[in-house]
Amino acid sequence: MERFVFAIFLIFILTGFITEKPTIYPSVKNDSFKRGEVIEFKMTYGFFTVGRGAARIAPEYHKMNDRYCFKVDVSGKTVGMVDWVADVDDRWGAYIDTAAIIPHQFYRKIREGRYKKDEWTYFDHVNKKIEVKTLNNKTGRMKDSQFFDSPGFVRDMIGGFLYLRIMDFSKLKVYDTVTITGFFEDEFYKLNYFYKGIETIIYKYNNRC
């Protein structure tokens, strides 16, 4: 009898461990992007190219918080005559959980004329906390961290757009609304996307793999 009670107790404990993790890191299907992806783009004004940028997913997995992650780097820079006036060279990056497509870390290095900002955002999904660290560009030292209580499954800018890429739009009707909870700098927001249907886009594709 004692062995039977112990076995039941053990089953309850193991079941608790098994069912707890998926609620923190729910697995989502991803057939949209993979390691090594590179997307290059340009910004135009009329016939003139005013900026260029790229989004790159590292060819190897990275680990953060004992989880495998996509390392994504996004850059945007003014070019040509606009660069003489605006001089923008911004870089963003994130470590995105490969299973749940939620961020473990988001960072940005902003260079816009004389304005500079270096910031790192850490997402603790287990304890539902967010820590933001900012560099003091005058002293070269980190400022005091800011801490925020976080709702579940909150995303950064990069993770939010990646999540949109894996969504199943076949179940949506025109003008249905998709809401994504996000965090940026020091505040939470809800992005509402309106589904307007399917559009065919022609683009150049270069398979570098």
* pLDDT at 21 exceeding the cut of 60: no
Band (18; pLDDT cuts 50, 70, 90): very low
54-93 per-position pLDDT tens digit:
999 999 999 999 999 999 999 999 998 787 778 899 999 9
> What tokens does 83 get?
């660069």
How much is the pLDDT for 1? Answer: 52
How much is the pLDDT for 45? Answer: 85
Identify the residue with better confidence: 8 or 124: 124
Tokens 């461990």 belong to: 17
**Alpha-carbon separation of residue 26 from 14, 117, 153, 201 (angstroms):** 18, 33, 9, 32
Tell me the H-state helices in 72-153.
81-85
How much is the pLDDT for 12? Answer: 36
For 142, residues 6+ apart whose C-beta sits below 8 A from its C-beta are 133, 134, 135, 136
Tokens 């965090």 belong to: 183
Q: What is the pTM of this model?
A: 0.81
For 105, residues 6+ apart whose C-beta sits below 8 A from its C-beta are 64, 94, 95, 120, 121, 122, 123
Compute the CA torsion angle 12, 18, 23, 26 (nearest 10 deg): -160
Cα Dmax for the chain:
84
End-to-end CA separation in angstroms for the chain: 61
Cβ atoms 122, 104 nearer than 8 A? yes
Cβ atoms 72, 81 nearer than 8 A? no
173-196 per-position pLDDT tens digit:
898 988 889 999 999 988 888 888
Percent residues over pLDDT 70 in the chain: 86
DSSP assignment of 26-88: ------S--TT-EEEEEEEETTEEEEEEEEEE-SS-EEETTEEEEEEEEEEEE-THHHHHT-B
* pLDDT at 208 exceeding the cut of 60: no
Tokens 């870089």 belong to: 91
How much is the pLDDT for 5? Answer: 42
131-141 per-position pLDDT tens digit:
999 999 889 99
